[in-house]
Structure 1
Amino acid sequence: MTIRSLFACIGLAMLMSMHGAAAQPAQYKIVTASPSGTYIQIGRDLAKWVAAPADIELEVLESKGSAENVRRMRFEPGVKLALVQSDVFQAYLDEAKTGNAEAGNIIRPLRLILPLYDEEIYFVVRADSLMTGIHEIKNKKIGVGPLGSGTALTSRTLYQLMFQEPLPEGSAQYLTNEEALAKLTVDKTIDVAIIVAGQPAKLFTDMKPEARKYIKLLKLDEGVPEAARARKTYFPATIRSASYASWLESDVPTWSVKAYLVTYDYGLKATVGHLSRFAESLCSNFDKLQASGHPKWKQVKLELPSLGQGWRYYPPVEKKLRACIAASAMPAASPAGSVGVPGAPVRPCTEQELVLGICRR
């Protein structure tokens, strides 16, 4: 074999190797929430209808919820996407503004892909409870969700807003949804279980008609002062009886929080390329998500509204989505800038830091 032939063979082998590597789909992960929640179904929809057509194998991972998702998005290898509640994202930004360097290190490079839908907040009590309104939970024993979950952050924030004081340390129990319902109805060691999930949520759709003998939902009364204070961060919503026809007899007014699809400010060419294709696929397959995915997709709009300080879209994806939106003659908005983060003070960590999982005692 001549030298020229040898180099030709080597070149052909390299070309074939590169072609084979290019043919392999990217291996990405998305962190969601518990198996009984809505996030995990949204993640599966994205894997099937958006990632797969973009040549991405998207593994859908369970988690405790939004607060944990933020940290895993930031640090866990392979996690390129996360589902995060708006109040959790804002809580990290607020901690960063106070001088918490760890919170700033976690949140500063995270970027938004798309606002999704509103998640309803369920205030569950025993059927024989004398409470009827959400504003009556003050000083009650409350299952607030696991440490590291978005539910725990939401529970604490809502309580603080409504009653203008922190949730008492002895009142909060950090429990999973299933544990909280058991403590509520079997042990009767808590008075309220707070659960955040977009309807219809599997946890409640699986309930049988006799569930109404054991539990009920508290209602939002928009006329009370507590409601006016909570409206600064949360939005009125309705839990529809049609979502849980087997046990819920009438619609229940409540609060909701926005869900976002989040990524990292990646600069690696291959990752930028894959996420750009993900955005193109999201645009071209959006109708399939709404037609065949979880019912919550019908509430999602393919638009990029203006963001508050510290919130930023991921530029490569934003570019693709804005082009899609413009082609569809939909309105678009410009992103806001980022916020700088000073160094962290040496001090005891707060309960909010503990809930966010950035506590260092």
Structure 2
Amino acid sequence: MFKNILAGLIVLALASSTALAADAHYKIVTGPERGTYIQIGADLAKWVADPAGIELEVMPSKGSAENVQRMRFEPGVKLALVQSDVYQAYVDMANSGNADAGTTIRPLRLIMPLYDEEIYFVVRADSPLKSINDIKNQNMSVGLIGSGTAQSATTLYRLMFGQPIPEQNAQHLSNEDALAALIVGKIDVAIVVAGQPAKLFTDMNPELLQKIRLLKLDPAAPETARAKQAYYPATIRTSSYPNWIKDDVQTLTVKAFLVTYDYNLRDTVGKLDRFADSLCTNFDNLQEHGHPKWKQVKLELPDLGKGWKYYPPMEKRLRACIAHKSAGATATPAAATPEETVQKASKPPCSEQERLLLLCGK
């Protein structure tokens, strides 16, 4: 009798455990299938979500602007990877009075900053172009509409040259299609945003790799000084691509962030709390076993710019864990801001910025 009761209790416990795991099925939107974001998402699923009892489905996407939209409006998407310049562009448009941008970005919250993503300016091996400031008026691929690459490329160009990319010079191609078009001479420059080492290049046919090269950053160029208003110098290392580049190449970089929504349902908050605890507890595993970019991530929550907010429940958990690890003082979590109700109004035709942020037609 006792054995039967014990066996029944064990089965019940196992069933409850399985139900808990099955009940916590979330999605994270990342980036192209051969990019860095999707590998970072897979690392989070394996080393953070799984130990927390959360089944995290890693979803490919065009990139950051699409991720913001899907994080905000697609059921089941609880996490997203977003470039800092894309997030800031939404904040700026919301602050300038764009109702759709405000509706989209104001309920989103940051979990933590991750790493810097390098910006690659790729040309053919026989191209006369030498440095990044030579790309003015060239026919180039700036990334798919909705991608972080498109935001970075267009913002950088406007900063460097004081004008938008001429419409006839901007091609919106995927990374793979851009490199193919570059090699056969259909475009002059392919702009790619990816954390090194990027599978896009490490998996590329060695013979094709020899047909392309990287433009370097010219520290003395006035265009570089203007670009540094929003972006930071970085180095693409030979150790990342030993079969491709012979010398380190100076370029620019943009920050990646892990993003969520300002959830208040107790069940969701509890699961995201578990995710935050697991992120802190398993951070060493991410750095040891995950993509090499994890080695650049610091377990910290720095001050944010105006219009940027951490997600309070996860912020509280992370700060407590960080303090426990470092024996430092904890910071008081920022108060949650009530979600604003924004009334849609008729508006003029789409601007270039609205098109890149997928705000047209809303």
TM-score (norm 1): 0.91
User: How many angstroms apart in 2 are the aligned matches of 1:69 and 1:45?
Assistant: 18
The residue type equivalent to 1:259 in the other structure is A
Aligned to 1:360: 361
Aligned to 1:47: 45
Taking the TM superposition and a 5 Å limit, the aligned residue runs for 1:111-130 are 111-130=109-128
Aligned to 1:349: 350
Cα offset for 1:207? Answer: 2.7
User: How many angstroms apart in 1 are the aligned matches of 2:18 and 2:113?
Assistant: 36
Cα offset for 1:213? Answer: 3.2
Question: Which of residues 264, 288, 291 is equivalent to 2:288?
Answer: 291
Aligned to 2:22: 24
In 2, are the aligned partners of 1:309 and 1:336 still within 8 Å (CA)? no
Aligned to 1:328, the other structure's residue is in SS state: helix
State whether structure 2 residue 140 is matched by structure 1 residue 135.
Answer: no
The residue type equivalent to 1:124 in the other structure is V
User: How many angstroms apart in 1 are the aligned matches of 2:204 and 2:18?
Assistant: 49
Taking the TM superposition and a 5 Å limit, the aligned residue runs for 1:218-229 are 218-229=215-226
Question: Structure 2: any 5+ residue segments left out of the alignment?
Answer: 1-11
The residue type equivalent to 1:352 in the other structure is Q
Q: 1:236-284 deviations in whole A, cap 9, x for unaligned?
A: 0000011011111111000000000000000111100000000000000
Question: Which of residues 203, 206, 213 is equivalent to 1:206?
Answer: 203
Question: Which of residues 283, 298, 302 is equivalent to 2:299?
Answer: 302
Aligned to 2:240, the other structure's residue is in SS state: helix
The residue type equivalent to 1:162 in the other structure is M
Given the superposition, is the C-alpha separation of residues 347 and 224 from structure 1 closer, same or farther in structure 2, using an over 3 Å criterion?
same
Of 119-128 and 330-339, the range deviating more from structure 2: 330-339
Given the superposition, is the C-alpha separation of residues 331 and 228 from structure 1 closer, same or farther in structure 2, using an over 3 Å criterion?
farther
User: How many angstroms apart in 2 are the aligned matches of 1:331 and 1:138?
Assistant: 49
Aligned to 2:8: none
Aligned to 2:322, the other structure's residue is in SS state: helix
TM-score (norm 2): 0.91
State whether structure 2 residue 322 is matched by structure 1 residue 321.
Answer: no
Alignment coverage as a number of residue pairs: 347
Q: 1:87-132 deviations in whole A, cap 9, x for unaligned?
A: 0000111111121111110000000001000000000001000101
Aligned to 1:58, the other structure's residue is in SS state: strand
Q: 1:293-337 deviations in whole A, cap 9, x for unaligned?
A: 000000000000000111000001000000011112257767778
Cα offset for 1:345? Answer: 5.8
In 2, are the aligned partners of 1:208 and 1:246 still within 8 Å (CA)? no
Aligned to 1:245: 242
User: How many angstroms apart in 2 are the aligned matches of 1:50 and 1:15?
Assistant: 23
The residue type equivalent to 1:102 in the other structure is D
Cα offset for 1:211? Answer: 3.6
User: How many angstroms apart in 2 are the aligned matches of 1:57 and 1:296?
Assistant: 23
User: How many angstroms apart in 1 are the aligned matches of 2:318 and 2:80?
Assistant: 18
The residue type equivalent to 1:347 in the other structure is P
Q: What percent of counterpart residues are identical?
A: 64
Question: Structure 1: any 5+ residue segments left out of the alignment?
Answer: 1-13
Aligned to 1:34: 32
Of 139-148 and 323-332, the range deviating more from structure 2: 323-332
Aligned to 1:166: 164
Please, what is the CA RMSD of the aligned residues? 2.2
